[in-house]
């Protein structure tokens, strides 16, 4: 997402409004709002398909186009000149009542799937997260899109997708919002973490631009450090009044810590293999000149060790791949990790 470009876009609008308001005694102070044409009864079908656990979630929902067309209007994303907070802005984008039907259809579909598959509340959060992560990451414009635009167009950048996910979570009763990283030119969603007795509630980030575990560091997927990102509630721009929390971040911790150990082990094995490879090449050069039983014995020993390290390294790489692709099956991935410990 081009966060910086969007800030500049808003500043440009602000300057335009200010210059045109010279000599005016009253300046209209309206925020983003969808004006739907109720006479427009046209609809569109949105197809849903993405992997979750060991299945493919698939289906379709029907959404009226009038709110979508209203969201595409130039005036829909207007920004008040004064006294409008980021929370008011993102809440207006996420919660515009013209999108209620869209949320009802989408969450009705996911509620039905969750009931049919006996999902826990945490798995339901992961279901919604995986759906949004699956939406193709494409920069679609300067302004933040309304969720109905992201759903119908099936595309969006980090702010579009993060606002959609936080809206879905908030509508489902979870304490959720978005977090802006201006220096990184990035945005993520965030959800409340299970209470730990702290005075200020903690939230964990949800990367929406790709598959990732809930709470995984937004910057990299294969980090060599413990990379679950925990933040304070006062750093989150909340978009709803939900109170439910995500309660299994401790499993995510275990998964990411195991990944760190695997990466460190692969690095160590690779170093050993590089050393052995150098010795093997030297020994092959010596043996090509003249046969020496002592050199040959070391050569055979090094070659055996190298092949064993190679086999072990491949096994760890397979485990690393399962962890890196296991965010859609957090419980199963955790059970696999627990069996390694």
What residues does each domain of the chain span?
3-173, 253-340
pLDDT of residue 11: 43
What is the per-residue pLDDT across 236-269, written as a single tens digit (0 to 9) for each? 999 999 999 999 999 999 999 999 899 999 999 9
Cα separation, 36 vs 96, whole angstroms = 11
DSSP 8-state code for residue 55: E
Helices 158-171 and 100-116 cross at an angle (nearest 10°) of 70
- The residue count of the chain comes to 341
Residue 129: pLDDT over 80: yes
- Residues 64, 50: Cα–Cα separation, whole Å: 23
- Give pLDDT, residue 83: 77
Among residues 181, 199, 259, which one has the least CA distance to residue 226?
Answer: 259
In three-state secondary structure terms, 60 is: strand
Task: Please determine, for residue 190, whether its predicted confidence score (pLDDT) is greater than 90.
Answer: yes
Q: According to the model, what pLDDT value does residue 103 have?
A: 98
């Amino acid at each position: 997402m081009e966060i910086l470009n969007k800030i500049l876009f808003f500043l440009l609008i602000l300057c335009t409004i200010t210059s045109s308001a010279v000599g005016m005694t009253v300046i209209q102070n309206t925020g983003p709002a969808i004006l739907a044409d109720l006479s427009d009864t046209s609809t569109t079908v949105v197809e849903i398909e993405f992997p979750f656990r060991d299945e493919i979630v698939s289906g379709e929902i029907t959404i009226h186009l009038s709110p979508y067309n209203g969201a595409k209007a130039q005036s829909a994303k207007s920004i008040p000149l004064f006294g409008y907070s980021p929370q008011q802005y993102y809440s207006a984008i996420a919660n515009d009542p013209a999108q209620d039907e869209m949320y009802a259809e989408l969450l009705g579909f996911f509620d039905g799937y969750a009931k049919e598959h006996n999902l826990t509340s945490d798995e339901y959060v992961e279901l919604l997260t995986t759906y949004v992560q699956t939406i193709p990451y494409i920069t679609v414009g300067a302004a933040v899109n309304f969720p109905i635009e992201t759903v119908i167009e099936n595309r969006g950048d980090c702010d579009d997708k993060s606002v959609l996910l936080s809206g879905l979570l908030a509508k489902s009763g979870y304490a959720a919002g978005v977090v802006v990283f201006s220096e990184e030119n990035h945005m993520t969603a965030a959800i409340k973490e299970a209470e730990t007795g702290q005075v200020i509630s903690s939230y964990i980030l949800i990367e929406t631009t790709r598959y990732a575990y809930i709470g995984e560091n937004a910057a990299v997927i294969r980090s060599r450090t413990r990379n679950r990102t925990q933040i304070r509630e006062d750093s989150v721009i909340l978009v709803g009044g939900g109170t439910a929390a995500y309660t299994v971040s401790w499993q995510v911790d275990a998964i990411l810590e195991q990944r760190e150990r695997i990466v460190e082990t692969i690095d160590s094995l690779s170093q050993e293999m590089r050393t052995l490879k150098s010795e093997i090449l030297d020994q092959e050069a010596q043996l090509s000149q003249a046969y020496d039983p002592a050199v040959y014995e070391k050569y055979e020993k090094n070659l055996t060790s190298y092949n064993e390290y190679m086999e072990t390294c491949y096994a760890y790489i397979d485990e690393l791949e399962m962890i890196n692709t296991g965010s859609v099956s957090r419980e199963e991935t955790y059970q696999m990790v627990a069996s390694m410990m």
